[in-house]
Structure 1
Amino acid sequence: MELTRREFLQYTAVTAAGAMLAGVPFLKGAEAAAKEEKTMEFVENLEVPYSTGRSVPTIAMPENACDCAHHIYDPVRFPYKPSDTRNQPPAGVDVYRLLQKKLGMTRSVVIQPSAYGTDNRCLIDALEQLGENSRGVAVVEDSVTDEELERLHHAGVRGLRYNVSRGATLEAGKVLRMGERIKGFGNWHLDFWVPADIVIGYREMFEKLAVPCVFDHRGHLPQAQGIRHPAFSMITDLMKEGKAWVKLSALYHDSNLEHDYADTVAIGKAYVEAAHERVLWGTDWPHPSEFSAKRDFPDDAHLLDLLAIQAPDEKVRHQILVENPEALFGFNR
């Protein structure tokens, strides 16, 4: 899926709008309010790149709501690793800020995309741009030095990712040693993009980890089995023991449906009912899997509204969007 001329022009327009947004906090009084109102009118009527639709969420967004899973791509300034062939178009911080405005969210967690491998320069640059309201999840080699881990911590990184779908290997001994190495930083975790059929073979490793583990995209339970898959009970046991968290992100992953994703929504609802105090939410913007598959991009506002089905209670949604991210990623610390 290459950018059309229309999409490229739109991308250029919203990047300019992102720069305009960045200037709003430096204005004062009526001038700032007028500019903010004009900008919001623009955002509410905009189809943000890599996100279909012009609507905004219908559910109320609490203050400090956090998008716990998104990516930033800047191939002009930070080239992709040579082996990456998907060639994801630019999806920079300025454009992401427009999505934040549209969704009414102010905090975010930037996940290192596989296109960069273990080169975390784009991630660190994004964290610097986004400031104190953002945290990061990096990818490193097992041989990473303590000095580099400390540098990542000071940049805002609070976790390390293992993406099995893009070549990461799970060697229990090495994963456990990495957990021991990072536990002293505080509010660090290990993040796992791992199919459910593989997850179930690593229960002992997850039990022994010195830091919490986070399962991306509902633990990738296969649609045909859903919560009947043994990984669901294993993950929820770990959640109840205070050892694991689950992201209700990218509903289109592992779903055979479109638009309302009733199958993966049902899985998300089951996780909330089991241990809502260990549940997170994220967009997965700019939806790299959908770009790679040449499918239409989802409507992020609609995906956020579907959280109301997974977590009908407003207080529970507040915990998922605000309190849980604060506890895991150490916002305000």
Structure 2
Amino acid sequence: MAPATLIETEHSSLFPHGGWDTHHHIFDPETFPYSPNRHLTPPAATVQDFDDFRKKLGITKSVLTHGLSYGDDCTSLKAFVPQLGQKVTRAIGVIDPEETSDDEIREMHAAGTRGIRVNLYRYRAMEDINLQKKALAAHLKRITNLSLPWSLTMTTIRTEFWSELAPFVLDTVIKEGVPLITDHFALLKAPSMLSPEFKSDPTKQPGFEPIMRLVRSGHLWVKLSAPYRVSELKPDYEDLKFLVRAFVDANKHRVLWGSDWPHTPRMKVRTHEEAMKETPYMVIDDEAWLRSLRLWLSDEEWDLLMVQNPSKLFSH
């Protein structure tokens, strides 16, 4: 099918059948203080702020992703979901596999949580593949032991790790029937962020082939989110077209869209002093990015990305 023509009218042209934002945060440190062991100190970004944001864009449903600044304390998450509207909001939580009780996990499910994200900062695993596998296995065990219909999300900044992670995922996560999600284009890069050796052929960058194999086989869901983490060409991020098309062509049923609102800075390991200092959000033109993305997809692909795929994964 040929790419759809974008009519520059109202926001309804972007979301004629509604639309899901599958990755956003809420930060309210006055009501819910951050963890003392956090990796980042974001400014307030409240429920009302997000409500204004989603109405401006025309988003109708969302998945609140627990901010890692709160650690594994999901008290705030359980409070934010009903404020956002439990009929239109689902959540991705964070747990401590050794300390979070079964009762608390069941409470999270009752409050609208439908998956957990692996906090690699807690494991000091951002640069260690063996610790990443350990963390993934520990979180998987908690989900399967409770027979919860949840997904599992893990995002590594070291894309080359996927060569070893892919067979591990097949032998563990997929064998248990748990959907695996990775955020932000799996942190594969557009040419504007690649070293010279990969600019001419970005498909040769580390991790590209094993990630695409997992997507193609249906074993990995990828969020086309936070383009500013993988491209320098804001506001339209035109060099991301090749990566969007690669994921969609690999498996149009395994792609999701998320805003990453309120746009925290790029992932990195910070010193404790850096982490305790309030860090401003990035200024992003979300509508410009969405309109750019829309031009690269057919009507069917857009509806899968924005409505059908997230509904399949999160509506239960």
TM-score by length of 2: 0.79
Change (3 A) 1:296 1:140: closer
Separation in structure 2 between the aligned mates of residue 216 and residue 161 of structure 1, nearest angstrom:
10
Partner of 1:258, secondary structure, is coil
Identity of aligned residues (%): 32
Residue number in structure 1 paired with 2:56: 102
Match of 2:225 among 213, 234, 249: 249
Tell me if the contact between 2:42 and 2:281 (Cα under 8 Å) persists in the aligned partners. no
State the alpha-carbon separation in 2 of the partners of residues 81 and 188 from structure 1. Answer: 25
Q: Is the 8 A contact 1:279 1:320 kept in 2?
A: yes
Give the root-mean-square deviation of aligned CA atoms: 2.5
CA–CA distance in 1 between the matches of 2:220 and 2:71?
Answer: 25
Aligned to 2:30: 76
Letter in structure 2 aligned against 1:162: V
User: 1:326 corresponds to which residue?
Assistant: 311
The equivalent position to 2:288 in structure 1, one of 279, 302, 312, is 302
1:10-65 residue CA offsets vs partner (Å, 9 max, x unmatched)? xxxxxxxxxxxxxxxxxxxxxxxxxxxxxxxxxxxxxxxxxxxxx97484303341
Distance 2:18 2:239 in 1: 29
Q: CA deviation at 1:303?
A: 1.8
Q: Is the contact between residue 272 and residue 279 of structure 1 (CA under 8 Å) also seen in structure 2?
A: yes
Which deviates more from structure 2 when the two are superposed, residues 82-91 or residues 243-252?
82-91
Write the distance in 2 (CA, Å) between the matches of 1:167 and 1:289: 21
Residue in 1 that maps onto 2:4: none
Cα separation, partners in 2 of 1:125 and 1:227, compared to 1, 3 Å: farther
| Aligned equivalents of 2:147, 2:44: Cα separation in 1 | 32
- Report what 1:32 is aligned to: none
Contact 1:109–1:134, Cα closer than 8 Å, also in 2: yes
1:161 aligns with 2:117: yes
Contact 1:56-1:301 within 8 A present in 2 as well: no
SS of equivalent residue, structure 2 residue 118: strand
For 1:145, the equivalent position in structure 2 comes to: 101
- The residue aligned with 2:133 is 172
Measured after TM superposition, the shift of residue 219 of structure 1 is: 0.6
Q: Which runs of 5+ in 2 are unaligned?
A: 1-8, 126-130, 267-276
Where in structure 2 are the equivalents of 1:231-250 lying within 5 Å? 231-250=207-226
Q: Give the C-alpha shift of residue 104 in structure 1.
A: 0.8
**SS of equivalent residue, structure 2 residue 229:** coil
AA at the equivalent of 2:94: V
* Structure 1 length-normalised TM: 0.75
Q: Secondary structure at the match of 1:280?
A: strand
Q: Aligned partner of 1:156: which letter?
A: G
How many pairs does the alignment contain?
Answer: 276
Q: Indicate the structure whose relative CO is greater, using CA pairs within 8 Å and at least 6 residues apart.
A: 2
Contact 1:221 1:232 in 2 (8 A): yes
CA contact (8 A) 2:24 2:63 kept: yes
Distance 1:173 1:166, change over 3 A: closer
Q: Distance in 1 between matches of 2:264 and 2:73?
A: 18
